[in-house]
Amino acid sequence: MAVYKLRVAFEEHEDIYRDIEVRPSQTFYDLHEIILQSISFDQKHAASFFVSDEHWRKNDEITLLEEDLEDGVKLMKKVKISSTVMQPNQRYIYLYDKKVLWSFLIELIKLVPEDNRAQYPRCIKTVGQAPKQYKQQAIEKLKQKREEEELMDVVPHADEEAFKAAAEEKLVFDEEESEGELHDDENAIAHQDEEHEGEEGEEHEPEGGPEGEEEEG
């Protein structure tokens, strides 16, 4: 009887991969376990396989947890690997841990004779050192989330200070604007007073000509 030889590679590090052999009758849950064992990851997080086409486009989803079941989604423990193999180089995408989203590309590379002395599934080849599961990027993301949550406790105070600063700035602007308007009004009043004084200083001749001037007979 033949077994499937699958190559499982990190999507972001395709030069790091594992070759895994699994019986066609075994389930995706068996494959899920051996993948994590082969890269020294724990099994504390959700995971899903996606049956893929030759262009790595996701099709049917096969998930680990029952609470993730939706219309058309199947459970790993109930789906045999052989039921999804539609072509000689069948492909899958495997996602692990929704928060970090580790992504793996899986391809069926060969059918090999079963070794009756072997225990399946098994990892038969290891290339490259797997990244640390809780990589620095994930640590930084969690650290940033904590800082944002701590900041939420002081946001009202920060907003109050910002409001006060804006209010003070507006008050200064209004005072400067009022002083400018007052200064303009004072100039206008002074100008009107000067014009009034000028009008009072002018002499007006009475109608009928200058006084003392006799009319000609």
Q: Name the amino acid, one letter, at 98.
A: K
94 is written with which tokens?
């495997």
Q: Of 167 and 128, which is predicted with more confidence? A: 128
The Cα–Cα gap between 162 and 158 comes to: 6
8 Å CB contact between 62 and 48: yes
CATH code reported for the domain at 2-133? 3.10.290.30
| Average pLDDT of the residues in 92-112 | 96
Where exactly are the structural domains of the chain? 2-133
| Average pLDDT of the residues in 181-206 | 53
Residue 52 has pLDDT above 90, yes or no: yes
| Average pLDDT of the residues in 22-42 | 98
Share the mean pLDDT of the chain.
81
